[in-house]
Amino acid sequence: MNWSADSIAAKGGDYFQLMDLPLYERVGGSKAMEIAVKVFYDKVLADDLVGKFFEDVDMEGQRIRQKNFLSMAFGGPYQFSGQECAGPTAR
């Protein structure tokens, strides 16, 4: 009996080949990071309890930083110099 278990076409691809790709690429790369950040901040900003904390935040910059963070976390390319986190010096 042939169950087509060895047919890559029947399975829709070869799972083990995916293991050679970085997680960043497996989840969809840059476009997936953009979508995830958009959906996340759309929900955060629409929330009455949490959204008010972002009233004075440069959301375009925040979205870029969040996309870079996710890209780094998923093993993809990112731009981070450390200056993004520099704030007022605590005394």
Residue 32 lies in a domain: yes
pTM of the predicted protein model: 0.67
pLDDT at res. 84 = 57
* CATH at 69: 1.10.490.10
Question: Angle between the 29-46 and 59-73 helix axes, to the nearest 10 degrees?
Answer: 130
In a domain, 15, yes or no: no
Q: Give the pLDDT of residue 19.
A: 74
Task: Say what the pLDDT of residue 73 is.
Answer: 92
Does the residue 53 lie in any domain? yes
Mean per-residue pLDDT, 51-70:
94
- For residue 16, being part of any structural domain is answered with no
SS3 of 21-84: the string is CCHHHHCCHHHHHHHHHHHHHHHHHHCCCCHHHHCCCCHHHHHHHHHHHHHHHCCCCCCCCCHH
Asked if the structure places residue 90 within a domain, the reply is no
Give the tens place of pLDDT for each residue, 21-56. 888 998 899 999 999 999 999 999 999 999 999 999
How many Å apart are CA 4 and CA 24, to the nearest integer? 30
65 vs 21 pLDDT, higher one:
65
